[in-house]
A = this chain, B = another copy of it.
Amino acid sequence: MNLATSSTGPVRATMDDVARHSGVSLKSVSRVINGEPHVSATLRAKVEAAIAELKYVPDAAARSLAGSRTFIIGLLLDNPSPNYTMKVQKGVYDAVRAHQYHLRIDNVDSSVPDDEFSAQLEALVRNSRCDGFVLTPPLSDNLLLLDFLDQSGIRYVRIAPALEKSRGSGIVIDDAAAAAAMARHLWDLGHRRYAIMRGPTAHMAAARRRDGFIEELKRLGLEHPVIEIDAGFSFEGGIRAGDSLLASGLRPTAIFAGNDDSAAGVMAACSKAGLKVPDDISVCGFDDSWIARSVWPYLTTVYQPIEEMGHAAASLLLRRDEPESALHRLDFHLVVRDSTAPPPQA
Name A's B-contacting residues (CB within 8 A): 1-9, 12, 55, 57, 59-62, 64-65, 67-70, 82-83, 85-87, 89-90, 93, 100, 102-107, 125-129, 131-132, 151-155, 235-236, 239, 261, 264-265, 268-269, 271-272, 290-291, 293-296, 317-318, 320, 322, 324
Closest 6 CB pairs of A and B: A268-B296, A82-B86, A61-B64, A8-B153, A9-B152, A235-B294
CA distance A290 to B6 in the complex (A): 38
CA distance A39 to B265 in the complex (A): 60
Nearest Cβ distance between residue A310 and chain B, in whole angstroms? Answer: 12
Q: Are B239 and A82 in contact (CB under 8 A)?
A: no
Q: Are A69 and B104 in contact (CB under 8 A)?
A: no
Given A4-B67, A82-B290, A153-B8: A104 in contact with B107 (beta carbons within 8 A): no
Nearest B residue to A131, CB-CB: B3
Q: Are B90 and A320 in contact (CB under 8 A)?
A: no
Nearest B residue to A268, CB-CB: B296
Q: Are A89 and B105 in contact (CB under 8 A)?
A: yes
Given A6-B154, A9-B154, A153-B7: A272 in contact with B291 (beta carbons within 8 A): no
Nearest Cβ distance between residue A242 and chain B, in whole angstroms? Answer: 10
Q: Are B153 and A6 in contact (CB under 8 A)?
A: yes
Given A127-B57, A291-B291, A293-B235: A93 in contact with B105 (beta carbons within 8 A): yes
CA distance A59 to B70 in the complex (A): 11
CA distance A265 to B298 in the complex (A): 11
Nearest Cβ distance between residue A62 and chain B, in whole angstroms? Answer: 5
Beyond the given A62-B65, A65-B65, A105-B105, could you list 10 further A-B residue pairs with CB under 8 A, ordered by the A residue number?
A2-B320, A3-B131, A3-B317, A7-B153, A7-B154, A61-B62, A82-B83, A102-B104, A264-B294, A291-B291
In the bound complex, residues from chain B placing their C-beta under 8 Å from that of A153 are 6-9
Q: Are A295 and B271 in contact (CB under 8 A)?
A: no
In the bound complex, residues from chain B placing their C-beta under 8 Å from that of A295 are 264, 268, 295
Nearest Cβ distance between residue A153 and chain B, in whole angstroms? Answer: 4
CA distance A93 to B4 in the complex (A): 21
CA distance A69 to B3 in the complex (A): 7
Which of B59, B67, B82, B236 has a CB less than 8 Å from the CB of A293?
B236
Nearest B residue to A73, CB-CB: B3
Given A8-B153, A65-B61, A296-B239: A132 in contact with B82 (beta carbons within 8 A): no
Which of B55, B57, B62, B272 has a CB less than 8 Å from the CB of A296?
B272
Q: Are B104 and A103 in contact (CB under 8 A)?
A: yes
Which of B55, B294, B324 has a CB less than 8 Å from the CB of A1?
B324
